[in-house]
Amino acid sequence: MTNAEAVVSAYWEACEARDWAAFGRLLADDVVYHLPQTRERITGRARFLRFNQEYPDGWHLTVTRAVGSGRHAATWISCVHHDAQLDATSFFDLDDAGLIRAVTEFWPEPYEPPPGREHLVERY
């Protein structure tokens, strides 16, 4: 496991444990959290911690993939919330000290496939 992979694995482990002290220790003071789908941005460790602490509870996550090298990493997690299951993909930038200074996160939702490719695909 690379250092970047260890950092993002610890990030999700702390998140699942609701261990916000451990979670906060992985973040740079000026961390920025980007949600491109809603065009929302949260700036700074204190606000980002509060966002996570205030987020309605009842969810559990597991990490499907964590890959990282140098100052970049990406994860694919699976999140279960009230019997609904949703995947999220996240891209992380680390600073020189190995702290997380940027997270860009996507929450893709299910949709119906467009017609015209039934001859190539299986549904599962």
Q: Which residues bind a second copy (CB under 8 A)?
A: 2, 4-5, 35-43, 47, 50-51, 54, 64-65, 67-69, 72-74, 76, 87, 89, 91, 104, 106-113, 116-117, 120-124
Output the smallest distance, CB 97 to a second copy, in A.
Answer: 19
What SS3 class is residue 119? coil
CB atoms closer than 10 angstroms to residue 113: 9
Of the two residues 54 and 83, which places its CB atom closer to a second copy in the complex?
Answer: 54
Chain center to CA of 18: 14
Output the smallest distance, CB 118 to a second copy, in A.
Answer: 10
Whole-number Å distance between alpha carbons of 61 and 13: 9
> What does the buried/exposed string (b/e) look like for 16-41 if buried means 16 or more CB atoms within 10 Å of the residue's CB?
beeeeeebeebbbeebbbbeeeeeee
Of the two residues 25 and 55, which places its CB atom closer to a second copy in the complex?
Answer: 55
Output the smallest distance, CB 68 to a second copy, in A.
Answer: 6
Output the smallest distance, CB 100 to a second copy, in A.
Answer: 14
Of the two residues 58 and 116, which places its CB atom closer to a second copy in the complex?
Answer: 116
Of the two residues 18 and 47, which places its CB atom closer to a second copy in the complex?
Answer: 47
